[in-house]
Chain A
């Protein structure tokens, strides 16, 4: 899938710009992209480093185990393949909690740790497991209660009520998360039957 999407994006983009006479822009974009990747990297690297440090204290002290014990009842239903008390449940829970409070920067390291611990359980290391897909579906559906970026931006533009869209966003994100979980269930069943 990644191969297809990558080829599609690049091929469509370059062919379209050839046809529309926009190719000089693309020429710049190609070189700029590598630079902006490095800049993005410089932004997220320190955050990941910091949070993995903090997380490791929580892992070694057993704090994350307590969290997973409490949440394994709920998460166990969503992730039937994952054994109870497995560390990936704690990482996934921490990722979701960070997302819910709008702490995007803290969410990513937890998410990455969750993926690598789910990979330990994965039988075929080249193919996404069912649990991974359920997790990324919930993650990309953007389950958030406090969309911090939006509130900050609305404040910046002098909104009289910067938090007015919190409720509407929450309802929309709830709908998308539920829809994601349902379609994930349906497709998971279909894929195991094939």
Chain B
């Protein structure tokens, strides 16, 4: 179904523009030109963010925290890793999800729980760094607090809803 959405959307936009007799081609070119300005502000933020996230992940600090928490909270270590990595790194969580599917099988309860967590939240740090970085804002006030709180609620709800729907 999602194969249809993008082509149909573009068809709609182009036909509507043609109908309104605007200069469609120039509009498109102008829009594309804008992307260069955008990239100019995005790229430095990407380097900065990826550098700090990679250093944190590869240092093993998060795994150490996860191992520590795993002793206290009685949930599978794989799911715990996923939940903690989810807001920080999209690539790391996709790798973790692949491992979980391989280890338990894609239709196992743990895989379903992991899929639910993965599908229910976004890579918060990436989005915030990108969005605020693109307009040169560093003073983000309570933006991280609200987003991380929402992530936590999403992850906890995933546990509850999967217990109800899939656990037998």
Interface of A toward B, CB cutoff 8 Å = 1-3, 5-6, 9-10, 12-14, 16-17, 20, 22, 25-26, 29-30, 32-34, 36-37, 40-41, 44-45, 48-50, 52-63, 101-103, 106, 108-109, 111-112, 115-116, 119, 125-128, 132-133, 136-137, 139-142, 144, 146-150, 153-154, 157-161, 164-173, 175-177, 179-180, 183-184, 187-188, 191
Listed from nearest, the 5 A-B pairs whose CB atoms lie closest are A56-B31, A176-B154, A180-B150, A147-B119, A169-B119
Interface of A is mostly: helix
Number of A-B contacts (CB under 8 A): 332
| Complex interface: chain B residues within 8 A of A158 (CB) | 106
Tell me, yes or no, whether B69 is within 8 Å of chain A by CB: no
Contact of B145 among A9, A57, A170, A183 (CB under 8 A): A183
Judge whether A54 and B28 touch: CB under 8 Å: yes
Judge whether A55 and B119 touch: CB under 8 Å: no
Q: Using A3-B138, A41-B43, A142-B154 as known contacts, say yes or no to A154 and B115 having CB atoms under 8 A apart.
A: yes
Contact of B121 among A33, A37, A167, A176 (CB under 8 A): A176
Contact of B154 among A103, A166, A175 (CB under 8 A): A175
Contact of A187 among B17, B58, B142, B161 (CB under 8 A): B142
Nearest chain B CB to A171's CB is how many angstroms away?
5
Contact of A37 among B50, B124, B161 (CB under 8 A): B50
| Complex interface: chain B residues within 8 A of A30 (CB) | 51, 54-55
| Complex interface: chain B residues within 8 A of A133 (CB) | 140-143, 146
| Complex interface: chain A residues within 8 A of B46 (CB) | 37, 40-41
Judge whether B165 and A168 touch: CB under 8 Å: yes
Judge whether A33 and B54 touch: CB under 8 Å: yes
Which B-chain residue is minimally distant from A160 (CB atoms)?
Answer: B107
Which A-chain residue is minimally distant from B98 (CB atoms)?
Answer: A153
Which B-chain residue is minimally distant from A124 (CB atoms)?
Answer: B139
Interface of B toward A, CB cutoff 8 Å = 1-2, 5-6, 9-10, 13-14, 16-17, 19-20, 22-24, 27-32, 34-36, 38-39, 42-43, 46-48, 50-61, 64, 87, 94, 97-98, 101-102, 106-107, 112, 115-125, 127-147, 149-151, 153-155, 157-158, 161-162, 165-166
Q: Using A33-B50, A41-B39, A128-B137 as known contacts, say yes or no to A187 and B146 having CB atoms under 8 A apart.
A: yes
* A169 and B146 alpha carbons, distance in the complex (Å): 20
* A54 and B7 alpha carbons, distance in the complex (Å): 11
Q: Using A132-B143, A167-B165 as known contacts, say yes or no to A16 and B61 having CB atoms under 8 A apart.
A: yes
Judge whether A136 and B143 touch: CB under 8 Å: yes
Contact of B34 among A34, A44, A52 (CB under 8 A): A52
